[in-house]
Amino acid sequence: MGMRQERRLALGALALLPLAGQAQEAPVVALPQLEVGGQAATNGYQTLRSSTATRTDTPLRDVPQSVTVMTQEAIRDLSMQSMQDVLRYVPGTGYSQGENNRDNPVLRGQNTNASLFVDGVRDDAQYFRDLYNIDRVETLLGPSAMIFGRGGAGGVVNRVTRQADWTELRELRVQGGSYGNARISGDINQPLGDHASFRMMGMYETADSFRNGVHLRRTGLNPTLTLRDGNATTLRLSYENFRDERTADRGIPSLRGAPLPTGVGSFFGDPRLSTTHANVNAVNAFVEHNFENNLTLRNQFRFASYDKQYQNVYASGAVTAAGTVPLGAYNNSQKRDNFYNQTDLVGRVQTGPFSHQLLAGMELGRQVTDNLRNTGYFNALGANATTFNAPVFAPTISTPIVFRPSATDANNHGVADTFALYLQDQVQLLPQLQLIAGIRYENFNTNFTNNRTGDRFLVSDSVFSPRLGLVYKPVEPLSLYVSTSTSYLPRAGEQLASLTLANSALKPEQFTNHELGAKWDLRPELSLTAALYQLNRTNIAVTDPANVARAILIDGTRTRGFELGVRGRVTEAWSVMGGYTYAESELLADQSATIRKGNTAPFVSRNVVSLWNRYDFAPQFGSYIPRLGLGLGVIHQSSYFAAADNAVRIPSFTRLDAAAFWDINPQYRAQLNIENLNRARYYPVADNNNNISPGAPFAVRAALTVRF
């Protein structure tokens, strides 16, 4: 931990002294005043507590659920550029390609593009997120509807943003690297007296790629203002504008059940016509008040407007016997406005020998979404030609394409309204035994219009999502837990665009997780976690074989696994993070003629290992900041299937990464990161059997951070 971090923690502790004094007589339950998303007692790569999993400030070892926190220091040390980079070091998680136009994590075998949150509020539009304004990333595995609402089948990923506080900061970071990468980011935090503080964060990045014709450009700007009235009331306001523009590169096709052996840079399609653009504008307001009667009331409002457009020319099939690759094309636009308001009341009460930490909350939400899709027609081949066969040795094309709606292309408008109430009790039954029990009632209404056909649907789902867990601590640093939880997904789907006449009356999909785990703070700076789980997915909608106009419900998947995680300092100089995952995800019923019972779910590797090590030399100026540090990481991922038909298997790989750090003086810090040091040929993600992404053969990034 550096001087600045130590000063920040010390100031935070001083600010909370009045509350600590009250706690000796009657404990006060309150979220810390300077952290949106909850307190996170962070020490290097380790985090000891958070408010995200329970919406109350709770030690992580008292949470009966697998929770992994990627700290700001870890993000910086590994020079993480994306959410995919973050999840590589989180046990139980993976990633799919998402047509290379959006974040698409795979959480305990569940492929999702909407289980993403920011400061605990839904952030479910399809785009690539950045880390320039992020304090930490929290991954909660297992269904979490009691806290987060619909979806979150295999878990959720929550980004916690940095907020204005009372530590003066001026920081500029400049980065450059392989394939034309150039990035600059800044962070200025300025206290404005005892009652106000202002913070401004910004970023600009541009890059090419080892893939032919692929480019990236993104910008971000995030001002925040914090106001406080002593220890009683805190108000935080923020605005963000984020833009991401890049080539939608869907990778390479398959040949005889494996990725096509082709040049790592070969682009299949037309990169000039394969573009994606996202523009996000978001306003957040958070207020918290601590009452003298052991109650805390907080309210968070978020409005976010998403404008997303993408277009791609891509491999739409496998390599043929004639040595050609079929190419297809389409574009899609999505505009979404999210309005969410969350209100929580938190307090402690004593009933006889039992102490309770109670949470009561309400969430209101409205999402207005417009989707429009157009098919690409290759007019040189005919007015209605939707496939272009390119030679496998010359797969990058340049031919006229006209984009217009087909008879089945999406053109819809939807308004989804959410009303939810939730209650939770964390009960100290015995000095060594805690119970956490909660339930959420959610009413989800979707008003959906298919502009192409004129069909209109008004669908209402009312569900209860329970959560129950027991935590037993035979000794204080060790906790053993057992838990069960559920989530559901309405027929509108994750992106609220899947309603049809055939499925509108069907029950929501349901996800049930049973988990047994252990958390051990082996030493104050080092934490070990282990979890054994079974996650069942039911109520999958498929076409009725006896009536193709009708949908029926069947069992979906059963995922069983074991996760082991480690984070923190083994010694004062040696820091580690990573883990091991063993997972089996099996289809429980036939879903089509090719997707059969017993198949393995896509994107799920049986074994995944990731471990990052940093060793520090020569403490500087008597402080904790090392003068020199070296890092070495390994990622191993066994083979996985690119689709549920199990027709294409993606081979296993092992990748080595390295880094060097040099704190020149308290103002200057230099860093060098090397990715794929062993130059492995690998395919980290796929979207289907013929959209398979090669990994970078070798990449170097150098950065200089200046504080002034």
pLDDT digits (tens, 9 = 90+) for 409-455: 999 999 999 999 999 999 999 999 999 999 999 999 999 999 999 99
Q: Are 568 and 45 in contact (CB under 8 A)?
A: yes
Q: In the structure, what pLDDT confidence band is assigned to residue 546 with cuts at 50, 70 and 90?
A: confident
Residue 624 confidence (pLDDT): 52
DSSP 56: S
Share of the chain above pLDDT 70, in %: 93
250 bridge partner residues: none
- Nearest C-alpha neighbor of 524 from the set 567, 463, 584, 466: 567
Structural domain 3-707, CATH architecture: Beta Barrel (2.40)
Task: Write out pLDDT tens, residues 465-505.
Answer: 999 999 999 998 999 999 999 999 999 999 998 888 888 88
Q: In the structure, what pLDDT confidence band is assigned to residue 355 with cuts at 50, 70 and 90?
A: very high
Domain ranges of the chain: 3-707
Separation between Cα atoms, residue 148 and residue 130, nearest integer Å: 22
Higher pLDDT, 125 or 622: 125
The tokens for 101 are 């136009």
> If you average pLDDT over residues 26-33, what whole number do you get?
34
Is the pLDDT at 196 greater than 70? The verdict is yes
How far from the centroid of its chain's Cα atoms is residue 234's Cα? 28
Residue 31 confidence (pLDDT): 34
Q: Are 7 and 169 in contact (CB under 8 A)?
A: no
Residue 549 confidence (pLDDT): 73
Higher pLDDT, 619 or 434: 434
Residue 40 confidence (pLDDT): 53
Query: What is the pTM assigned to this prediction?
Result: 0.92
Is the pLDDT at 12 greater than 70? The verdict is no
> If you average pLDDT over residues 644-651, what whole number do you get?
98
The tokens for 251 are 């990778």
Is the pLDDT at 376 greater than 50? The verdict is yes
> If you average pLDDT over residues 360-365, what whole number do you get?
98
How far from the centroid of its chain's Cα atoms is residue 586's Cα? 24
Is the pLDDT at 464 greater than 80? The verdict is yes
Separation between Cα atoms, residue 207 and residue 243, nearest integer Å: 14
Q: For the chain, give the mean pLDDT.
A: 92
> If you average pLDDT over residues 662-677, what whole number do you get?
94
Is the pLDDT at 227 greater than 60? The verdict is yes
Q: In what order do the strands lie in the sheet with 110-111?
A: 93-95, 105-107, 110-111
Separation between Cα atoms, residue 319 and residue 322, nearest integer Å: 8
Reduced to 3 states, what is the DSSP secondary structure of residue 73?
helix
DSSP 85: H
Q: In the structure, what pLDDT confidence band is assigned to residue 550 with cuts at 50, 70 and 90?
A: confident
Q: In the structure, what pLDDT confidence band is assigned to residue 282 with cuts at 50, 70 and 90?
A: very high
CA dihedral 35, 612, 177, 276 (to 10 degrees): -60
Separation between Cα atoms, residue 201 and residue 440, nearest integer Å: 36
Residue 7 confidence (pLDDT): 36
The tokens for 102 are 């959006």
Q: Which run of H or of E encompasses 317?
A: none
Reduced to 3 states, what is the DSSP secondary structure of residue 333?
strand
CB atoms within 10 A of CB 460: 11
Separation between Cα atoms, residue 345 and residue 589, nearest integer Å: 44
